[in-house]
Amino acid sequence: MKNNLGSISLLVAFSGLVFFEVLLRMEILTHQGWKIVTAGFEAATIGGFADWFAVSALFHEIPIPFVRKHTNIIAKNREKLTEGIVDLVTNKWLSPDVIAEKLNEVDLAKIILDFIQQPKNQQNAISLIQNIVLKLVDELDNPKFAYALQKILKDQISSIDLAFPLGTWLEKSIKNGDHHQIWELIIEETGKSITNPETKTMLLAKLKEAAEEYSDKGFFKKTALFLAEKSGGIDLNLIADDLLLKAKELMSDAKTDANHPIRSKFDDWLLDFAKQLTSGDEKSINLIENLKERVMQHVEEEKVIHTLLIRSKETLTAQLQNNNTPLMQFLISNLNRMLVDLREDPAAQQKINIYIRETVSELLVKFHSEIGNMVRSSMMKLNNKELVEQIEDKVGNDLQYIRLNGAVVGGIVGIILALLKML
């Protein structure tokens, strides 16, 4: 109905004109008032027809001589129309000032928080983080990355002065007794090494080597050693067992006694070494520098960094596979805590709002022309027929009221003019 409103109004006006004109000419109607009515329908017909032509000429070509070139206006003036729309959108409707003004009216931080705290969206955010981290983790074992990281570490370690802080830490630890636990751990591991069968084998080899060297020092020593071995006076296996047992007992005593002579003597040596480091003793500092060089050389030769990265990749990949792993539980709990803290911190929300608004405003100023380019590109993709159809589809129905108004206003003006003629 709305689509045909203009045509119906024109048909009613024209039908009224024909009807009353025929009745007047047949002298069925003779009163002057009917002439006024007929004049109204006549003017309504003219107004409706004129507005039909005006509206139709926008979208279609009307094959009427002389005026034909003034029809199909949209298609013929599409470039001007396009640039006009682009200018209207970019400089009026979506200008940077307009968008910035609208952004200032919106609490962006609250919207983002509300969005993220919805279970579905939170899971999507976690999945996105997982995918991003997995892609980064996948590159951990890249040899180029390992080489770059190794070079960075080497440069950093080389430039670090370890001597003074190490000396200060050692001196403080020894004086406060903080190193006792380390001592106990070292002694415990040493005790385990003593009971290792390989240790006994190595000790026996050294004892045999010492016995051979002793026998080589002269005939009498060789003879005495031979007789002692044959008579059972010297049993290298038994000697090794006794030595290892005494060493184990010594380690056990040293572990339980913080003031054991061995520990005290070594503490004194470490304390003296620490003082040398803090005082800038060249020999001690060179020792630390050489140690740094050896450590880095070992790291390079054994590809320690690359191996660590490979293991880290395997561990992190396994931890990122689902939300039930310790790493993911840690990330999720911290994300939830961060969101709760942020919701209760208006100052932080305001900072987020300011940051987003300033960032968006900068991007709008920098790339504002892209809005016009998108509008222009979208319109240029349409041929004339598609462009006209889209515009007509959006505004064609509303333009029917122009035709209706043309008929109504024309009719009213016609009646007024007829009345004026009768005065």
Q: Taking the chain, what is the end-to-end CA distance rounded to the nearest angstrom?
A: 40
Do 210 and 269 sit in the same domain of this protein? yes
Do 356 and 404 sit in the same domain of this protein? no
Do 177 and 264 sit in the same domain of this protein? yes
Range of the domain at 398: 2-77+383-422
What does the mean pLDDT of the chain come to? 77
Q: How large is the average pLDDT for residues 30-36?
A: 82
The answer to whether residue 264 sits within a structural domain is yes
The answer to whether residue 193 sits within a structural domain is yes
Do 275 and 183 sit in the same domain of this protein? yes
Per-residue DSSP letter, 91: I
Categorize the per-residue pLDDT at 217 as very low, low, confident or very high, splitting at 50, 70 and 90.
low
Do 179 and 267 sit in the same domain of this protein? yes
Helices (H) and strands (E) in the chain, counts: 20, 0
3-state helix, strand, coil in the chain (%, to 5): 85, 0, 15
Q: Which amino acid is at 399?
A: L
Q: Cα–Cα distance between 392 and 97 in angstroms, integer?
A: 31
The answer to whether residue 50 sits within a structural domain is yes
- Report the domain count for the chain: 3
Do 348 and 397 sit in the same domain of this protein? no
Do 66 and 118 sit in the same domain of this protein? no
Q: Cα–Cα distance between 267 and 364 in angstroms, integer?
A: 68
Do 168 and 118 sit in the same domain of this protein? no
Of 209, 213, 235, the closest CA to residue 222 belongs to 213
Do 128 and 38 sit in the same domain of this protein? no
* Count of beta carbons in the 10 Å neighbourhood of residue 336: 12
Do 201 and 231 sit in the same domain of this protein? yes
- Whether the CB-CB separation of 388 and 75 falls below 8 Å is answered with yes
Residues 386-403 have pLDDT tens digits of 777 777 777 766 677 777
Do 342 and 263 sit in the same domain of this protein? no
Categorize the per-residue pLDDT at 108 as very low, low, confident or very high, splitting at 50, 70 and 90.
confident
The answer to whether residue 143 sits within a structural domain is no
Tell me, yes or no, if the pTM score tops 0.85.
no
The answer to whether residue 44 sits within a structural domain is yes
The answer to whether residue 303 sits within a structural domain is no
pLDDT higher than 70, residue 234: no
Tokens 């993709």 sit on residue: 381
Categorize the per-residue pLDDT at 220 as very low, low, confident or very high, splitting at 50, 70 and 90.
very low
The answer to whether residue 377 sits within a structural domain is no
The answer to whether residue 338 sits within a structural domain is yes
Do 172 and 270 sit in the same domain of this protein? yes
Listed residues 223, 249, 281: the one ending a domain? 281
Q: Cα–Cα distance between 294 and 145 in angstroms, integer?
A: 22
CA 236 to chain centre: 70
Most confident of the following: 186-200, 254-268, 324-338: 324-338
Residues 235-274 have pLDDT tens digits of 566 666 667 677 777 667 766 676 777 777 777 877 787 7
pLDDT score of 218: 55
